[in-house]
Structure 1
Amino acid sequence: MASTYRLVIIFFILLSISCTKDDVSDKSSNILQNLEKAENNSVRIISRAAYKNSLYGFWLGQSIANWTGLVTEMDKIGGEGASGVFYTRNDWGKADQPSIWGQGIPSDLSDNIDFVFEDEGSIWGSDDDTDIEYMYQYLLYTNKVTILSPEQIRDGWLKHIYSDENTPFTVEGKPENYLWVSNQRAHDLMANRGLLPPETSHPDNNKDYDMIDAQLTTEIFGFFAPSRPDIALKMAYLPIRTTARENAAWASEFYVVMYSLASSVDKSLPMKEQIQWMASIARKRLPNDSYSAKMFDFVKSRYQAGDKWEAVRDDLYQKYQVNQEDGYDISSRNLYCNGCFASGINFASSIVSLFYGEGDIIETVKIAVLSGWDSDNPAATWGGLLGFMIGQSGIEEAFGRKFATQFNIHRTRGYFPNNGLDDFSNMANHGVEIIDRVVIEQMGGKIVQENDSWIIPMQTNDISPSNN
């Protein structure tokens, strides 16, 4: 509760400037009553203004990590040839190598493996790690709901996500709608067969239900339920199962829990300990007999043993992609890239960067970018989480620079206001307004105007594994 007390001290100072003595006394009494409840773990008090800054940090951190990860996306996936020789820490700053689909051409974002930034006055573009999350926030905000219905999800997907037939985008002269594997199949099922979530992820309808897709499109629901992963999982249940089942859904829920817990950490602890605490709680969501749980436990044990991250990554490749241990069967999956879009191997890779990055946003993103496979996705996930935890100013301090504040959702999606041009501050405002509704409707909490805060009832959070 140390951070809560610091917030209240600041609040008292502000009150002393703007209020009479009697006003201060009355309002202070109310706050102290709330604090007494918080001390008994019955409620948590969270500043809305501080949370807005955190959400700004999420969008900025995710954008930096996403675009940096695109430099090495699908460069290294194991196996024969150049793609089989994984990057190591020594490759940071060196020449980028071609991806499996690059036809011998390295990324056009950067000649070298390095951070990709958009400077002040420029505009960040959306990508598949940010655009569907943006869409889900927009749907919650405009529909004024806390739980999206199957119909609202379908209508949002079909309105804002192009098909290959109507997309205005082309890559190398071919239509491009920026959907792949399970996302693409779910979209086709909605458009062509009239199916609604969760039937769009049912294995009988969608053979790619165990791919990575939901892991990069649904983490944001954790931020919509601060300190309440039980509520976050409820909100994310259907969006996750728009494209994922079983291990792919559980891995996605792991990320959702992590994001929700980011507002519960003891900020007096080092970032490494905060991250490890969050991960230990989120691990409870993974069924013990699942390969996702065993991947997590394998990486954690090797980290605790002091092994280098490159060795752990290499052993993950051998253990799961080659030997297919712990029930991880990719024998019929994306044979041309050896299962590189699968949920499992990308989840395992993300846990490597999570532990070995130890809460440092720069090191975490670097490791994620160098780890291989669909490298932009774990990078974006942890860049977004750590960006949230340190906020806009923390990101600027870490990188020693200012960044662009605007965001163009129309780089990949369509039919949003203002011709798709938004900014992180407005996006954070919309997130806060969604949480206002969640706090009241889903949590039974309150918005306290006097100190611009939420009072969130803390109940026993049931995050035990689901069966589907």
Structure 2
Amino acid sequence: MIPKNYVETVYAGFIGMNIGIRLGAPIEPVAWTYERIRDVYGDIRDYVKSYNTFAADDDANGPVFFIRALYDDAVDRELEPEDVGRAWLNYAREGIGMFWWGGEDISTEHRAYVNLRKGIPAPRSGSIEVNGTEMAEQIGGQIFIDSWGLLFPGQVEKAADYAEKAASVSHDGNGLYGARFMAACIAKAFDASSMDEIMAAGLRMIPEDSTYARVVHAVINFHRENPSDFRACRQYLEDHWGYDKYTGVCHIIPNAGVCVLALLYGEGDFARTVEIASMCGWDTDCNAGNVGTILGVFGGLDGIPEHYRKPINDFIVASSVSGYLNLVDFPTFARELALLGYRLNGEKAPEELIQRVKPGEIYFDFDLPGSTHGFRTSNLFKTPIVRHSNKHVCDGRGSLEVVFDRLVEGDNSKIYYKPFYRREEFNDEKYKPTFAPMAYSSQTVSAKIYVDQWEGEPITLTPYVRNTHTREDLRLVTITPVGGQWNDIIFDLPDTEGAMIDEIGWILESRSPLLNRALGSLFIGQFCITGTADYTIDFAKQVKEFASITPFSHHRGKWELAGGTLHCTADGDCSSYSGNYYAGDMVVEATIKPISGASHCLITRANGIMRHYLAGFDGPGTVSFIRQDFGHERLISVRYDWEHGKEYRFKLVAEKDMFTLYINGDNVLECKDASFDHGMFGFGCLEQGENEISDVRVHAEMKP
């Protein structure tokens, strides 16, 4: 049965996982050995590095995206390994992001992806028979499984079964046992009273005579004899279960030992558990991430210290093909995952939860305890406190409090949400995330704001957006909120003329004099972005970052900026995607100049790399409408004489199940198909060629 606090516990588990990943990531091998971590950082009690924005990590990518098999294929039936294999192909760009592309003879995930592309289906794609034991038993079997445990609270066998199916895409043998063990531990943490109980549940899900079970028992036995010295246990693992005995880049067995060690010596304390997992070395972010999920569920939100939670700020980036889905808001993801959990467990979700999940929209209500939804301020001196509060509430159990401290005329601080990110905001290039904005010109922002002012002249709020190309703040009409009551503040996002918007919020000011400075708190009770998006993309205002041209994610091909155009060179099929993943009816326009080759198309309703429609030039004198659904099918082809070196204005209209392609204003073809009712837009080709794309315009409505 789903527990009453299910959403909050899923939220805590996801926060815990990401804290562990962020803590362990800076001290991964091979540069950081156990000895170096010990000698440099000693007894870790906090993050060892501060990040501007923490870059994407494969340990989070898997839990976020592999569950999409439950949206795309296993909607009304049991999950199968092949469903997860299809999610790999649909959401992972070849050679970039998602996993570690370390070479198909080194990286297990790289090998599995190549197998899938060759037509070797899961679970054979990850089998020992195909890949060998060493490759199949690397750590990936257990690091991508957290969501499966969160989906089945208390249902350890079901969690283990689903985790095994997902892991079998890339792993086998002990790799599968690790998936079963960790998912079962997470599921059991929902109703367990001790770490011993949690690990006992995990052990019941794997063969007693497996190497994985033996290392778990070995650590349990060592801890029983040496309950206070985790470093002695770490040395025991090095001596008896170390990397020299289990080869490959990152074998699952030594790291399984570290996870169990951390669970035992952490004694149920969240912080100490993830700290010990990190101090033990080997695959630090993977191990700390797994135990972080278990302890997040076990101890709940109250068990997570603020100094670990605050820098997370309810937000991570991911690195799939969908730049929109790559911007992960924790409360939103937790609710979506919880809805899946209700569905999979055959229970009706509470109506309140259903109403708070709005795919394709920004809907932030600060209902979950401690939630911040990634909000920031620009002036820490004048707005020193940004925190969750239940002092003033308009919808649910909380709001975001921003304390403003002694503002005078000339002072200001921006209070804002970031719907888009740039490379300059990250410290490194890890897993090369890409972004499609969460908000666009012509959409409507609505917010509920309460002002509790203690001193000074009234504050003012000026709605604004930041143009990411010019770095300018586009100010709208200033308002003076009424103190002591909830104010409904609504504004439309202005046209940024082909550039993206990377900040949305308010500029907080006051005309207070020095002798009567403005002091108090502002509370945001709700923040929403809705409505039809109507915007352009000017490639003269875009940049190449993270190996992609903003705001697109590229799969294969060479994509460059050239003279205000997007220049594509393809050795074979390739594609590029942007826009709201949940857009329904849409109109996409672009000028396309074919330079060589016979395939030059617009893409619409893209659910991913392997699920979308293409429309455009498809051979000499031919235009086609093509459905890609793990294989291309031409739904209609018509005669149209086109030439290399000439520019053509494409306009592709998708309205319900009807699609119309216009070229240079002429209705060229129409087609009906109901396979995909929402998705991204983009560009693609099915064979070798070259083209230039410019003057993109998009009109997109969200799927009802």
Same fold (TM over 0.5): yes
* Superposed displacement of residue 356, structure 1: 0.6
Q: How large is the RMSD of aligned CA atoms in angstroms? A: 3.3
Distance, in Å, in 1 between the alignment partners of 2:36 and 2:155 is: 38
* Superposed displacement of residue 323, structure 1: 7.9
Aligned with 2:328: secondary structure? strand
Residues 1:384 and 2:293 aligned together: yes
* Superposed displacement of residue 287, structure 1: 2.1
Matched residue, 1:375: 284
Which of the numbers 61, 64, 69 marks the counterpart of 1:134? 64
Matched residue, 1:257: 184
Which of the numbers 207, 211, 216 marks the counterpart of 2:143? 216
Distance, in Å, in 2 between the alignment partners of 1:218 and 1:400 is: 22
1:116-157 CA-to-partner distances (Å, cap 9, x unmatched) read: 566xxx755431111011002333235435633344323221
Structure 1 residues 322, 360: closer, same or farther in 2, change over 3 A?
closer
1:257-304 CA-to-partner distances (Å, cap 9, x unmatched) read: 1011122224xxxxxxx2221112212223222221121111111111
Matched residue, 2:343: 437
Distance, in Å, in 1 between the alignment partners of 2:270 and 2:320 is: 28
Structure 1 residues 392, 199: closer, same or farther in 2, change over 3 A?
same
Q: Would you say the 8 A contact 2:11–2:331 is kept in 1? A: yes
Deviates more, 1:284-293 or 1:211-220: 284-293
Unaligned runs of 5+ in 2: 355-704
Distance, in Å, in 2 between the alignment partners of 1:55 and 1:123 is: 23
* Superposed displacement of residue 220, structure 1: 1.9
Matched residue, 2:416: none
Q: Would you say the 8 A contact 1:93–1:113 is kept in 2? A: no
Residues 1:189 and 2:115 aligned together: yes
1:16-56 CA-to-partner distances (Å, cap 9, x unmatched) read: xxxxxxxxxxxxxxxxxxxxxxxxxxxx4621xx2111122
Which of the numbers 144, 157, 163 marks the counterpart of 2:94? 163
1:215-234 CA-to-partner distances (Å, cap 9, x unmatched) read: 10113211111111122223
Matched residue, 1:29: none
More strand by share: 2
Distance, in Å, in 2 between the alignment partners of 1:450 and 1:431 is: 15
* Superposed displacement of residue 413, structure 1: 2.2
Residues 1:280 and 2:205 aligned together: no
Residues 1:198 and 2:105 aligned together: no
Distance, in Å, in 1 between the alignment partners of 2:345 and 2:309 is: 35
Which of the numbers 170, 176, 181 marks the counterpart of 1:243? 170
Q: Would you say the 8 A contact 1:223–1:259 is kept in 2? A: yes
Q: Would you say the 8 A contact 1:58–1:391 is kept in 2? A: yes
Q: Would you say the 8 A contact 2:339–2:353 is kept in 1? A: no
Aligned residues: 350
Superposition TM-score, scaled by structure 2 size: 0.45
Superposition TM-score, scaled by structure 1 size: 0.67
How many percent identity over aligned positions? 20
Structure 1 residues 397, 67: closer, same or farther in 2, change over 3 A?
closer
1:173-221 CA-to-partner distances (Å, cap 9, x unmatched) read: xx88999621111001011x21111001111212311111111011321
Aligned with 1:422: secondary structure? strand
Distance, in Å, in 2 between the alignment partners of 1:68 and 1:248 is: 24
Distance, in Å, in 1 between the alignment partners of 2:325 and 2:81 is: 27
Matched residue, 2:211: 291
More helix by share: 1
Aligned with 2:236: secondary structure? helix
Structure 1 residues 304, 162: closer, same or farther in 2, change over 3 A?
same
Structure 1 residues 372, 424: closer, same or farther in 2, change over 3 A?
same
Structure 1 residues 451, 59: closer, same or farther in 2, change over 3 A?
closer
Distance, in Å, in 1 between the alignment partners of 2:349 and 2:297 is: 21
Q: Would you say the 8 A contact 2:6–2:338 is kept in 1? A: yes
Give the residue type in structure 2 aligned to 1:375.
T
* Superposed displacement of residue 344, structure 1: 0.7
Which of the numbers 249, 261, 264 marks the counterpart of 1:352? 261
1:84-142 CA-to-partner distances (Å, cap 9, x unmatched) read: 74644984368xxxxxxxxxxxxxxxxx9834566xxx755431111011002333235
Map 1:350-429; keep pairs closer than 5 Å: 350-397=259-306, 399=308, 401=310, 403-409=312-318, 412-415=319-322, 418=324, 420-429=326-335
Structure 1 residues 129, 293: closer, same or farther in 2, change over 3 A?
same
1:292-335 CA-to-partner distances (Å, cap 9, x unmatched) read: 112111111111112521111112111123884xxxxx3xx33x
Map 1:87-98; keep pairs closer than 5 Å: 87-88=37-38, 91-92=41-42
1:392-442 CA-to-partner distances (Å, cap 9, x unmatched) read: 454254748464112222xx32225x26212001101111111121121xx
Residues 1:46 and 2:7 aligned together: no
